[in-house]
Chains A and B, each alone.
Chain A
């Protein structure tokens, strides 16, 4: 499949998911009225619902899904590890821990800016730890096991901090930070993540040529004149910005960055640089659909979107592993 065709197909999928997401909600508004309220105005209540409640939700699903997809593709490329993914190797969980540490302890007041600041720091710290481990122990399994340990440690610490908070609601929020949700996010959150994510995407994009060279192995890449330390730093910053910003507003959402690169890789020429954009678009479509399922599967009771991504993601990934053991990467 040509690259242009793949990208336009994925883009259509994202737009369809987004449109469906905008039409779903407890306030029964007809499709025509919804579109009218979104673009033209008119009925004030419908306008507020569309522009202030549903649009931010759909946009955040797209932005966060895109970021997770891109981050997954870049991590898999850099670590040359098919199991590398922000959720599995503990980057998302560490971002949650960072956000929780800075926000709930009241260190930063009740400022919402504490969330992305803490999440970015947590995500960056975890990527650096994983890089250090993969530098001394190149084995795929070591890295994944270290990541799993990091993820459970960060999850446990998150629960601990929330349980210790004097605010009676904090302990309810453990599930949000560990399983993610896009419920009742506002336009403010969209503005909060957009600049951070744009920077993150740019950093990952800047590293993509070196990631291609890295697929020949480190020595081969150095031989081609690639600046590997610079590319590493770019990936660390890029993943921290993407995953940190997303986790700060939605909690940790797993599996998107794992499944999507595997799904779209066979449709590309398998070079990491060619994979980034399709993986991002695929992630955006998948998270938006997952969020639709989370809202509609049990009427009047919303699931955490991380539950849905795990329910779709884990069995699918198992199937993928079994089907193409040799051609996984």
Chain B
């Protein structure tokens, strides 16, 4: 109960002193994050010293849009023992991962907050606000969330004769279909997701033949892992892909911006939109 009392007390202070100058010491609870998606929201919102550790996946450039920043924090491997030693006042994690760790930590009396695996652009602002509430950084979170909402609402339809068709095509020949964050980002950017149109859900194997039969206007290919070859990447050099003459091939500078939802997801949406002027349905015909 001592812990509970302290939590309420800091909460009251934060509520009362929301617009006052922060006093010495932390204004919110200390936090450990065990999931690569909560890691990134926590890093963006926590004040210095508040975030005790992030998961080691947060340092992985293929999964984390903030992998450089993650190096400033101690890394955990998502193991309950590490949390026991660090004794944070709050643990944030995803519902998607580490079920056993989560229930163990709850049984040991830790306050554990689970975030669902963010699957659409529309849930990002709410997740930011929730993380802000938990870290008692509401003002910062509100500013970030409302900015994201404003930018999302302000996205104009692409200036094209028809909506361009795009496809996220990845290693091993998989496409990102309905229900993925990438799908919703693609729709927000003003594209049609070819995989979703064809009825594919989640991350699903997409036959090369279908790609050839109805080529999309834009195909977003992954960036490969340097120095660690895998046959998975072979599909990206398949001669057939070079024969798609009406298709523009592109990639995202940070594909991880679409692995987890966050304010950075907006940058991926803008990056997708930069391809639009070069796509067949959007090209300006001179004189028309």
Contacts and interface: CB of A to CB of B under 8 A. Distances in A.
Contact of B235 (A27, A184, A187): A184
A172 B203 CA distance: 15
Contacts, number: 83
B240 A53 contact: yes
Interface residues of A, number: 32
Contacts of B239: 52, 186-188
Nearest to B200: A300
Given A166-B225, A186-B238, A187-B239, A53 B232 contact: no
Interface in B130-156: none
B233 interface: yes
A173 B210 contact: no
Interface string A28-48: 000000000000000001101
Given A165-B228, A170-B228, A25 B207 contact: yes
Contacts of B109: none
A104 B240 contact: no
A52 B239 CA distance: 8
B20 interface: no
B171 interface: yes
A27 B212 contact: yes
B215 interface: yes
A167 B230 contact: yes
A172 B62 CA distance: 17
Contacts of A25: 207, 209
A173 B205 CA distance: 15
Nearest to A170: B230
B199 to A, nearest CB: 10
Interface string A136-177: 000000000000000000000000000001111110110010
Contacts of B205: 301-302
B209 A169 contact: no
B208 interface: yes
Interface in A195-223: none
A72 B134 CA distance: 66
Given A45-B213, A49-B212, A184 B173 contact: yes
A74 B128 CA distance: 67
A45 B215 contact: yes
A26 interface: yes
Given A25-B207, A53-B240, A110-B233, A169 B172 contact: yes
Given A54-B209, A302-B205, 12 more contacts: A45-B213, A45-B214, A46-B213, A104-B228, A169-B171, A169-B231, A170-B230, A170-B232, A172-B172, A183-B173, A184-B238, A301-B205
Interface of B: 62, 171-173, 205, 207-210, 212-215, 224-225, 227-235, 238-240, 243
